[in-house]
Amino acid sequence: MILIKHADVYAPEHLGINDVLMEGTQLSLIQDHISDCEHIPGIEIIDAEGKKLIPGFIDMHEHILGGGGEGGPYLRTPEASIKTLISCGVTTAVGLLGTDGIGRSLASLIEKARALSHDGITVFILTGSYGYPPVAFFDSVEKDILLIDLVIGVKTAMSDHRSSSITGEELIRLAADARRGGLLAGKPGYVTIHMGSGKDMLNPLFYALDHSDIPVRIFQPTHMGRTKELFAQGMKLMERGGTIDITAGEDAEHCITTADQLIQAFEAGYADQITVTTDAYGSMPIFNEQKELTGMTYGIPDGILNTLKILVYERNIAMETALKPFTVNPASVIGLKDHKGCLKKDADADCILLNETAGIDTVIAKGKTAFRDGNAVIHGMFE
């Protein structure tokens, strides 16, 4: 049991100074004053002293198993570290494969997800990878979503020179399989679409919408901030009721671009239809105009926090609005609205205490203190 005293609570709506009580893995009470708890054996009391309490971050695009391989096996990127995830405020993640759907297998992906879940955060995975037809545990995406507990959707790639150049008709069939599996399993059954900078952009997706009855919410294109033209198409998709995802920058300049794109979406009335993910541990290859590999780096999961700081402290966006792409919006996409990405009675006890400069003071995941005073409290077996 954890009692946080005197926190400035953003749920993400601003609730003001409150005490927050967490019992087990759930949040049980938020009110202006909670007393008579000090005598409870084992209770942890945290005096927030006016610090901001926000929901834990949800990162729907994490290469938890590592990624890479473009250029050869020696360029494979490292696996996710629970200490790093927690120190960046990520309490819920969705793991997926990237370009390599062979050397990086779904079997290893789900085992990594189970390990991270055991260590202290909530993790789901997507079946599929860059290729089409998709790699799968069974012989269909529908079966994967229905029969495997942690699988909540499928990943594919589009308009990228490394993809299978999926067509509109193929995208319809893939989305229908994912939707049917989701309906049968009580899961979101969505399609994450890695977007490259290819000339087709979102055209196959618009074709799928125009030539099928698949709900627009099933499609979740990501990396939509890659170019101005692609982002403009994303605005058109949101106009049709869809949701888009943009990738938090791997450096300060990119985070500024991400923040400015978010502001564009906010000002257009799409604050509830845009999410931000980090692409953490995925490879970030650099190709020249001839599509030749000229460099390689990989992402880390601090882009969400860095983008939030820019929005609130440099662009003067209200905290309750700035938090949406990192909390309530992704919670809705992964089918956990009112459970994740919010602070309310019976929601999961995942939250972050921010200090006066929006640095992370404390992280609570699954009702346990995971990060405190600059140090990770939880860690993997070999960390």
Kindly name the residue from 245, 279, 348, 350 that is annotated as catalytic: 279
Q: How big is the chain by its Cα radius of gyration, in Å?
A: 20
Backbone angles phi, psi at 75, to 5 degrees: -100, 15
Residue 279 annotated in active site: yes
Name beta bridge partners: 58: 92
For residue 280, the number of C-alpha atoms closer than 13 Å in the C-beta half-sphere is 25
Q: Residue 274 in contact with residue 325, Cβ under 8 Å?
A: yes
* Cα 72-76-81 angle, rounded to 5 deg: 180
Backbone angles phi, psi at 125, to 5 degrees: -140, 165
* Helix pair 252-267, 228-239: axis angle to 10 deg: 30
229 three-state secondary structure: helix
Strands 52-55 and 351-354: antiparallel
Say which residues have a Cβ less than 8 Å from residue 305's Cβ, sequence separation at least 6: 57, 88, 89, 358, 360
H or E element: which one contains 221?
Answer: strand 219-222
DSSP 276-324: EE--BTSEEEEE-TT--EEEEEEB-TTHHHHHHHIIIIIS---HHHHTG
**Residue corresponding to tokens 């202006």:** 32
Q: How far apart are CA 362 and CA 46, in angstroms?
A: 9
**Residue corresponding to tokens 């399609």:** 191
Greatest CA separation found in the chain? 68
Count helices and strands in the chain by DSSP H and E runs: 10, 19
Say which residues have a Cβ less than 8 Å from residue 296's Cβ, sequence separation at least 6: 68, 70, 71, 75, 283, 284, 285, 286
- Within 10 angstroms of residue 139's Cβ, the number of other Cβ atoms is 9
The residues annotated as belonging to the active site are: 279
